[in-house]
Amino acid sequence: MLRKLEKAEQKWGGSNTLIDQWLNNRRNLLINYCQIAGIPPYEETEKSLPAFASVKLFCGQLMDYVSEGHFEIYNQVVTACEKNGSSSQALAQQLVPKISETTDTALDFNDKY
């Protein structure tokens, strides 16, 4: 996950302040996820459920990240695609349902936990 993020940062980093902020928030979210999930290098010797406060913090970060993406980043991408012709518009039409699906998954996770 973090390797994919690093590739995105290399490709898109520095091109837009909002995207840089969003990528940084993604990094923090992924690190927190790895910590509460016990994924290396954050694995614990004793397997146990994460603390409620840790899950609550993660859910807050997740909602902030999804909201920022959904209401700011994705709108900019769709607007840019609309300006760049029919092939870009077709790409946006393919991506938006996938984005909505992942947003719904994140919202469901937050509601459940």
DSSP collapsed to 3 states, 15-68? CCHHHHHHHHHHHHHHHHHHHHHCCCCCCCCCCCCCCHHHHHHHHHHHHHHHHH
φ and ψ at residue 2, rounded to 5 degrees: -70, -30
Pick the CATH number of 2-112 from 1.20.120.1370, 1.20.120.610, 1.10.3720.10, 1.10.10.10: 1.20.120.1370
pLDDT digits (tens, 9 = 90+) for 66-102: 988 888 877 777 777 778 778 777 877 887 788 888 8
- Joined together, the tokens standing for residue 37 give 């999930």
Answer whether 0.85 is exceeded by the pTM: no
Please report, for the chain, the start and end positions of each structural domain, with discontinuous segments joined by +.
2-112
Cis peptide before 41 (omega within 30 of 0): yes
- CA 45 from centre of chain: 28
- CA 7 from centre of chain: 14
pLDDT digits (tens, 9 = 90+) for 12-56: 666 678 778 888 888 999 999 998 988 888 877 677 888 899 999
